[in-house]
Amino acid sequence: MQAWFVLNVYAALLISMLMFFNYRRESRRSIQAHAFGQLLLMLLILVVMDSLSRNGSGAGTDSTADELAVVGTYIVMAFHPFIYYFSLKYVNCWFDEEGFTGTDPVSLFVGGWAVVNFIFVTVNQLFDVPFFFNYDDGVYTQCTSYSIRGAVNLALYLVIDFYVVYNRKRINQLYRKVIIAFPLICFGSGIGQVMFSDIPVLYSGIVFACLALYIYVQNRDINEDYLTGAVNRRRIDYVLNMNINGSREFDDRNFGAVMIDIDFFKSINDTWGHQVGDAALQDLTTILFDCFRKEDIIGRYGGDEFLVIMHNTNQDGMEQAVLRLKESVDHFNTNGHDGIHSLHKRDYKLNISVGAALYDEAEKLTASQFIKKVDALMYEEKQRHHIEKTDAIDVDCT
């Protein structure tokens, strides 16, 4: 059994599997899943056609295998550049715009090259005009311009990667690194294809890139909050239960939790809109990551509430962390949008209420009971803040 056949069979199976799972997510996910599905479909077609093109005898006979080989070769050569276009369309969907318009210069260039290549290959095949190849008695002979075509195709993934790097700040931080890496992996596969022309390295490499991309995105979606980059409720509950149960994964029961809530968050949404409210959540998340340690778990518990699980800490360490947090919020408010923590221009100020407690094994609290305890401490401070604001309004009125 030839190596190319094994590679293409595995590639087709992996693509089919990815298409199945992506289809199940597509109705629940945004435009990214739809664009990813288009990329996978194009890739599957090319892998199948590549297999047909390699299965002919090369003797120019009228056998079915040779006829299918001609069809497969034509489709691969005519439609191959569209894989770059669909790759670009997919990465574009991770930018902060609503969808993919295809009107930016890079998209027009890549799409234009795909159309030009299709026209030239079609004319070459139908009218024996040797733009890229000659076909005689079942044997394809490359023309000089074939190498130019290959060089342009190879360079397209570099163009896409430069385009992604240039626009990297428009990609959510959760996915930025893997979106940048995706075209580079595909480019490396193209280099491999040049070195090993008898093996379909390129398509196998693109399949590998798609698989790595899907696993990475899926894992992020499961455990992290898309808006803020903090872990989500699912991960918080898991970590907290593992700590309470003394799991070997963390190997310590000496931990505590800090609950943080944004005061008057509804007024931010009502006054400046939900986009500004989202910016407030992102700003607070940035401050939390600056104030707590790398080993601490920072999560968005729900709405405008955040929970930090601190490992290997004591009462003094927890109090110092809370103090750093409050000082950072004050610094943030004092310095406005020029503050070191802010990524957004804003007119609002952050006000937070905090509750913190160490876990006491003697109390034998469950995860939900411990969260309720910390939440009650936070709510006590929140009530004081609301009373202070009401009193301040009364004083102003008098």
Q: What CATH number does the domain containing 300 carry?
A: 3.30.70.270
Q: Is 66 within a domain? A: yes
284 close to 306: Cβ distance less than 8 angstroms: yes
Last residue of a domain, one of 223, 258, 278: 223
The verdict on 129 and 243 lying in the same domain is no
pLDDT for 356 equals 96
Q: Specify whether 237 is located in the same domain as 214.
A: no
Which of 193, 223, 253 terminates a domain? The answer is 223
State how far the Cα of 14 lies from the Cα of 117, in Å rounded to an integer: 28
Q: Are residues 182 and 260 in the same domain?
A: no
Q: Are residues 214 and 117 in the same domain?
A: yes
Tell me: do 197 and 92 sit in the same domain: yes
In a domain, 301, yes or no: yes
Same domain, 304 and 369: yes
247 located within any domain: yes
Residue 343, both tokens: 């990524």
d(CA 161, CA 182): 8
- Between CA 21 and CA 135 the distance in angstroms is 40
Instruction: Give the position of tokens 């005898």.
Output: 57
Shared-domain flag, residues 121 and 260? no
The pLDDT assigned to 112 comes to 96
118 and 144 both lie in a single domain? yes
**Same domain (yes/no): 377, 337:** yes
pLDDT per residue rounded down to tens, the chain (398 residues): 688 999 999 999 999 999 998 886 654 445 788 889 999 999 999 999 999 988 875 555 667 888 898 899 999 999 999 999 999 999 988 885 555 667 889 999 999 999 999 999 999 999 888 888 887 766 778 888 899 999 999 999 999 999 999 998 888 777 889 999 999 999 999 999 999 988 899 999 999 999 999 998 877 777 888 888 899 998 899 889 888 877 444 555 689 999 999 998 999 998 888 888 998 999 999 999 999 998 899 999 999 999 999 988 999 999 999 999 999 999 888 875 444 444 455 678 899 999 999 998 888 899 999 999 999 999 999 999 877 765 554 444 44
In which domain, by residue range, is 191 found? Answer: 3-223
pTM, two decimals, is: 0.69
Asked if 200 and 72 sit in the same domain, the reply is yes
> Is 228 a domain residue?
no
Q: Would you say residue 218 lies in a domain?
A: yes
Q: Which amino acid is at 49?
A: M
Q: Which residue has the tokens 């480019």?
A: 187
Please name the helix (run of DSSP H) or strand (run of DSSP E) that holds residue 7, with its range, or none: helix 3-26
Helix orientation angle between 105-127 and 144-166, rounded to the nearest 10 degrees = 160
pLDDT at residue 340 in the model = 45
Question: What is residue 248's predicted lDDT score, i.e. its pLDDT?
Answer: 42
Residue 136: Cβ within 10 Å count: 10
How many separate domains does the chain show? 2
Q: Are residues 84 and 178 in the same domain?
A: yes
- The CATH code of the domain that includes 10 is 1.20.1070.10
Same domain membership, residue 357 and residue 238? yes
Q: What integer pLDDT is reported at residue 276 of this predicted model?
A: 87
Name residue 358's beta-bridge partners. Answer: 256
Q: How far apart are CA 288 and CA 225, in angstroms?
A: 14
Q: Are the CB atoms for 151 and 176 separated by under 8 Å?
A: no
**Of 201, 223, 245, at which residue does a domain stop?**
223
